[in-house]
Structures are given as C-alpha cells and as structure tokens.
Amino acid sequence: MQIFKVGGAVRDRLLGIPVTDVDRVVVGATTEEMLAHGFRPVGADFPVFLHPKTGEEYALARTERKSGRGYGGFTFHASPEVTLEEDLIRRDLTINAMAEDDQQNLTDPYHGQRDLEARVLRHVSPAFAEDPLRVLRVARFAARYAGLGFTVAPETLELMRQLSESGELQALTAERSWKEISRALMEDQPQVFIQVLRDCGALKVLMPEVDALFGVPQPEAHHPEIDTGLHTLSVLEQSALHKQPLTVRWACLLHDLGKGLTPEEEWPRHIAHEHTGLKLIKAVNERFKAPKDSQELALLVGKYHTHSHRALELKASTLLELLQNFDVYRRPQRFEEFIAACEMDARGRKGLEQRSYPQAEYLRGAAKAAREVAVQPLLEKGFKGPELGEALKRERLKALKAYKDQASA
C-alpha cells in the first residue's frame, strides 16, 4: 500500500500559496485492507474512506469509463492493479494531475509542473471532453489563478468549445452547476470565469441571458465602456475587489439582464429595463436553483438599482415605498446588500471605479430615520390593526420628509 497527496495540495504547494484541501490516493490496496486498517467507507459511487484518527479522505486509485451523459455518466474501477499514473490521467488539468509522497517526491507524468511554470491551464488527455462539468471547472480555475498570470491553453479551450456545442452541458444538474458557479463567483477575479465561458461558447448555453448583453450599447455619457456585457464584467470585478458576499456578486451578474431585450432601434437607451429584466432574472435563478437569499436579492437589485442611483432625487413617498419593499425594519442586512450591489454597479464603469457613491450613506440614513419611528406612542393613542399600519406609515413618511429637508439643507 502506497499513499500519495494529489491534486490541489500538490499544485498549491508548488505555487507557494496556502494549501486548504488535501486529497490522498491509495495505490495497491483493496477495500478489505482499508477496512482492516480502521478506515471508514463513505463513497457510494467509488471507494473513498475516512482516516480512523484524522477523519481525512483517502480514495483508492481508480480508472473511469464514460457510460452515459453528463457529470454522473461514468463507471469506476478500483483495484490494487490500478497504477498512480492511471489514476492521474483521468484528472482534468495537468496542474491537478501531480502526486507526491510523504517526502515530497514528485510524480508528474503529464508535465503539470512545466505548465505551472508556464502559467497554463491544459487538459491531461482527450478524456477531458467526457465530463461537461470540466468546462465550468476550468473557467473557475482561470478565475482563481488569473492574478498569477494563468490562461487556458488554446487546445483546451477548443475542447471546451466542442463540449459546449455537443449538448452535454444541458445534462448537468442544477446543483452541480450552481456549486461551480457559486465557487467561481467567490474567486478573486470572477469576471474571468464569465469571460472564459463566453470564449468557449458555454455562456450562450448556460446563461444566454448574460451572453446576450455583449455587443449591446449603453449611453456613453453614463457608461464610458458602452458595451453592456463589458459593464457586467466590470461590476463583477468590483464586487470581488470590495470583498462582497455571494448574494451581492450574483445580483451584480444579473442586474442588467433587461438590456438584452431592448430592440436595436431603441439603442443605446434602455427604458424600463429594470422591469423587463425581472422575468430573465427569475429564469436564471430557477435554472440553477440558486439559494433563496441570492434569488431574492438579484430580483430586488434588478428592479430597484436605478432607484438607488437616483436616491437623492426620490420623493419621500418613493423612498418609503422602497424601504417597505425591502422590509428594512425586520431585514436590515438585505437592504445593506442592495446598497452594496448598487455601489458596485456605479463603480463598474470605465474610469469611474474610484468615484464616490454618496447615495449609499443617504439610503442608510433614510432607513435609519424610518426605523426610528416608535410604535408605542401610536398604540397609546388607540391605533390597532390596519389603522396602526396606516398611522405608522404616515409617521415614517413624516420622518423621511424631515430627513430629506435636513439632507438638502
């Protein structure tokens, strides 16, 4: 029995960056031997075991063969005869197909170290094209390591293009797709993930609503970058630079989908794009079964982001309606995330990345003014039921008018 560290643990150590996940492969062992050593089995599809003391995962060396469509369409074979090289060749990229023993002796049959030094993401073998999930994985790695200068090898991008055109991407489950998308959005350069998907034709298949934004112009006075697709990438880039959570990043990606529906004869204006985009945002949300908080914020940002940009001009009654729609009294964090997404939208414009966004503080102040209206005095006056709600609304409107007057003084 021989045990090797494989994949990301080896790759990141060689890159000199922190190792977070450690995967181990066991060569020359049977299931029975693993159990005899006290390992606990956890793998339903192939033999994976937990170490009796550390709880870390150990997988038997295995080969795989394509047996159906999609990510799960494989049959696996694990036995003591499977070599380390045979196990490594089934992996996606050369930089993930290296192994090392406890003494850090490197096994690198597919030249992963050379590709690490060349900053290239290259597939290990033609079997790469058997797993459609790898299109998303490579785009995610491109987003993670773009800051180190990594790019996708042309031949790998071509394989990804073939996969995108094959119809295999439609066989991916919503859960698997969301897992990759959500992880990619949380990388240092999530805009690279979207760009790589677009370069290989996968964006058109997975998110045609986002793909449709490229080539759609916006008024240059407000958007020096002009192209709506490029603007979306910039907004996503800003969301990562400002360390925004997943909910905000997802909303940033989807906020302008309505602009993809504007008839060409109306370009570069996009009247009511906030409302026309809602059905598209809803469709993307449902396609990937995004978590409820991400779905809700994406729809709210899509609908109200121009309200935020015009916050200082809004009437007190419009401000109150906005705050009510966000339920700022019980869910203040959601309104904070809305403001953050809108600020990223304002910063995601060529040459305006450093411009201040006074609307953010103004909206926070408005929410505070509305929240500070006390209910108790109204109860003491005998208001209850629907009448209490109306009285509370009137008092909040008064507070917002006073806030506006003070802010403009």
Give me the CATH code for the 1-110 domain, please.
Answer: 3.30.460.10
pLDDT at 103: 93
Average per-residue pLDDT for the chain: 94
User: What sections of 57-103 are H helices per DSSP?
Assistant: 84-89
Backbone φ, ψ for residue 66 (5° rounding)? -65, 130
> Given a cut of 80, is residue 409 above it in pLDDT?
no
pLDDT at 224: 93
150-156 contacts at long range (C-beta below 8 A, 24 or more positions apart): 150/119, 150/120, 150/121, 151/119, 151/120, 151/121, 152/120, 152/121, 152/196, 152/199, 153/115, 153/120, 153/121, 153/122, 153/123, 155/122, 155/123, 156/93, 156/121, 156/122, 156/123, 156/128
- Residues 3, 58 contacting (CB under 8 angstroms): yes
Give me the CATH code for the 209-369 domain, please.
Answer: 1.10.3210
CA dihedral (56, 61, 63, 67) positive or negative: negative
CATH architecture assignment, domain 119-206: Orthogonal Bundle (1.10)
- pTM for the full model? 0.93
pLDDT in tens, 247-303: 999 999 999 999 999 999 999 999 999 999 999 999 999 999 999 999 999 999 999
Domain ranges of the chain: 1-110, 119-206, 209-369, 372-409
pLDDT at 347: 97
Stronger pLDDT, 147 or 77, i.e. the higher one: 147
pLDDT at 44: 67
List beta partners, residue 48: 59
Q: What angle do CA 252, 310, 400 make, to 5 degrees?
A: 115
Q: Which residues of 258-294 are buried (b: 16+ CB within 10 A; e: fewer)?
A: bbbbbeeeeebebeebbebbbebbbebbeebebeebb
Q: What share of the chain is helix, strand, coil (3-state, %, to 5)?
A: 55, 10, 35
> Given a cut of 90, is residue 78 above it in pLDDT?
no
pLDDT at 84: 95
* Average pLDDT over every residue of 116-128: 96
pLDDT at 45: 66
pLDDT in tens, 338-393: 999 999 999 999 999 999 999 999 999 999 999 999 999 999 999 989 999 999 99
Any idea which of 74-78, 135-139, 176-180, 236-240 has the lowest mean pLDDT?
Answer: 74-78
- Residues 200, 168 contacting (CB under 8 angstroms): no
pLDDT at 72: 53
pLDDT in tens, 82-107: 999 999 999 999 999 999 999 999 99
